[in-house]
Amino acid sequence: MAKPNITNRDRNGLWLEGAKANADGFVAFGIWQPYLSWMCADSEGPDQVGLDIISPPPCPEQSHPVRLSIRVTGMDTFFNRTQVRLDRIWRQWARRRRHNLPYTAAKRPLTSQPQASPTRALLLPCLLLFALILFVWPRLGKHVSPAQRPDSAARTPHHEQYHGSTSAPSVTICNPTNRCSSWLVGRWDWQALVQQGVYHDVHRVSVPVGMSLTLEGEPDAEAEEERWDEEGEKSQQRVGKSVVLNVGEFSCDSKKHSLCKLVREIEVKTSIFIALDQIKRNMTRKHAAETEIIYTHPPTLAFPSTEVTLVSQFSINRLERFEDAIGAWEGPIAAVIYLTQSTDIDPLHTYFNDAAKSALYSRVTLTILKPAYDAHNVHLRYPINRLRNLATATAPTDYVFVIDADFVPSKSLHAFAAHHAVPLLSPRTQQAHRIALVIPCIALVEAHMGPIPATPADLRPLFRTGAAFVTDPRAGHGPTLTTQQFLARPFFAQDPHTYEVCYESQWEPYYILHRSTAPAYDERFRNQGGDKQSHALILNAMGYRFRVARGEFIVHREHAKLVWPGGGLGKAQKEEKEWTYFDGFMREVEETFGKGARWPRGCAAKGVGWTVQRRDVVGIGVGGL
């Protein structure tokens, strides 16, 4: 049987001569049986070209050979009209055969759309995967082993971060419908109360420590008050009933107190004297002395968050000494006063009654902590690290400098911190390595009666005569290289403002940190011993790098051993020896960060360190051998 002829057309709409082919030949040219089946005919006209179809017959109802007719005239119109049908027929047929026939380029239909290549099909999943990696990778941080991660399962209290409250203290008032509103310091009239849903009636009141609330009712016709006007004439004025509410929760019963339904004005006050009086009254009540009270008095001056806050803690016997630090530091300060004895209230009240001393504390966020006084005298074990955390949490800025109350900063240290410490410790700078800026600490002999040195020029002659020295020059403060700096020993670091040193075990430096990334102090350390060492060890284990400020320092005068009231400190230091820095804390750190936690991790000092500065390595890993 002769093979049929078929004409085809290219993309330009021209019809060309095709080749002879059987049924498989049609497929090769993109002519499928479903495509031909609907064009069955058994006649041909003068304007048509014919094609004999022998086997298989394209039309099921016809058992004899039929002729397929394709009209040559108006072929573009015919093609456009049938395009949709051809696409639909092709998709139906492809779904039936795609699992049986392999894909080849020769089997593409004449009018099919371009098929996506395997590479193009994988492009979208790859882009999505790449976007996911970009989103997740910064949150994963630098890869460390599970034992080195600060957030591992073996988490200990020193991994906590500081969480302070920046909101101003306020009094809470609720109406009978339990709608509550907060009131800051000031006097508020009836219109202000109405705006907050307090329509003369008060149901519940909450007053924090250091604040008082005065509720004033409607004027009473029977109560009168004498007042004198500006011209000196005497006048009578009706006054209302009032009640003053101090610290605590109060429920206002209108059946017992008519004032609860007649409130027309309120006044909110706060002061350190109100707080001291409230604490004193609290200690006279039964079982109230065993309750801890914390009061924070905000400063009168405001500072930007990019300032560096000087942070300290002390008991009342350090009040006078801390004045030197306040006078030397021009920025914000956060301090905690620990009431060792219940009798500390009166001296504190007398101290702040002095207007000059109150003005001195205008830049200080002052927190007063009254511990629970019990028969076991646990409060005599001075909670030094807890007080440091509390003061740091109340600091009004992002950068903190934690020192002890005996130390006085150098005259230019605050300006140095603002211009050099803040840029060095900012989160942008610390993306690669977190940094602690160490400030050298210096002691003066007790016999030195001169003024406290304020500049390096004042300090150098004292070093040469022995009036100034470094406390614990080996492990405690030796790694800071303070003596070498102030004796003008040459350095090879390129930074004119700071130089880098390496961590050594038992090092207890004082440093400036960015509060958001710094761990809190371990509050299990009380009194003295391991309190600062433990914090520096954690910073090293976390990969901190230590840089020392050039030409800046803090200084304190050597003094006799402090005598605590009732000998409490000496007695407490002999108690509770089950857990110490070396026996308990070091093991926990090694379990969390690995055995190498005591060795320098973030150190990259070049030209400064053990070799050039002639530092021996005895103290580097001591305590863990």
Residue 229 counted as domain residue: no
Q: Is 529 left (phi over 0), alpha (psi -120 to 50) or beta?
A: left
Q: Rounded to whole angstroms, how far apart are CA atoms 326 and 321?
A: 10
Q: Which of the residue ranges 519-523, 539-543, 564-568 would you say has the lowest mean pLDDT? A: 564-568
| Torsions phi, psi for 457 (to 5 deg) | -65, -35
Q: Rounded to whole angstroms, how far apart are CA atoms 532 and 477?
A: 11
- β-strand pairing of 308-315 with 333-338: parallel
Please report which confidence band the pLDDT of residue 431 belongs to, taking 50, 70 and 90 as the band edges.
Answer: low
Q: Is the pLDDT of residue 161 over 70?
A: no
Residue 590 counted as domain residue: yes
**pLDDT in the model for residue 98:** 54
Residues 341 and 481 occupy one common structural domain: yes
For position 476, which CATH number holds? Answer: 3.90.550.10
Residues 396 and 429 occupy one common structural domain: yes
Residues 242 and 209 occupy one common structural domain: yes
Residues 307 and 254 occupy one common structural domain: no
Residues 65 and 199 occupy one common structural domain: no
Residues 241 and 324 occupy one common structural domain: no
Query: For the residues 425-445, what does the mean pLDDT come to?
Result: 85
Residues 75 and 218 occupy one common structural domain: no
Q: Is the pLDDT of residue 389 over 80?
A: yes
Q: Is 340 exposed, middle or buried (0-12, 13-18, 19+ CB in 10 A)?
A: buried
DSSP bridge pairs for 308? 399
Please report which confidence band the pLDDT of residue 447 belongs to, taking 50, 70 and 90 as the band edges.
Answer: confident
Residues 317 and 422 occupy one common structural domain: yes
Residues 249 and 292 occupy one common structural domain: no
Residues 293 and 262 occupy one common structural domain: no
Residue 136 counted as domain residue: no
Residue 117 counted as domain residue: no
Instruction: For residue range 258-272, list pLDDT tens digits in order.
Output: 778 888 899 999 999
* Domains in the chain, number: 3
Q: Is the dihedral of CA 490, 494, 499, 505 positive or negative?
A: negative
Residue 561 counted as domain residue: yes
Residues 88 and 189 occupy one common structural domain: no
Residue 160 counted as domain residue: no
Residue 25 counted as domain residue: yes
DSSP bridge pairs for 443? 469, 556
Domain limits at 220? 171-224+237-269
Q: Which of the residue ranges 24-38, 344-358, 540-554, 570-584 would you say has the lowest mean pLDDT? A: 24-38
Residues 259 and 292 occupy one common structural domain: no
For position 187, which CATH number holds? Answer: 2.60.20.10
Residue 181 counted as domain residue: yes
**pLDDT in the model for residue 8:** 43
Query: For the residues 575-602, what does the mean pLDDT come to?
Result: 76
Query: Crossing angle for the helix pair 531-541 and 586-593, nearest 10 degrees?
Result: 10
**pLDDT in the model for residue 148:** 34
Q: SS3 sequence, 199-263? A: CCCCCEEEECCCEEEEEEEEEEEEEEEEEECCCCCEEEEEEEEEEEECCEEEECCCCCCHHHHCE
**pLDDT in the model for residue 356:** 92
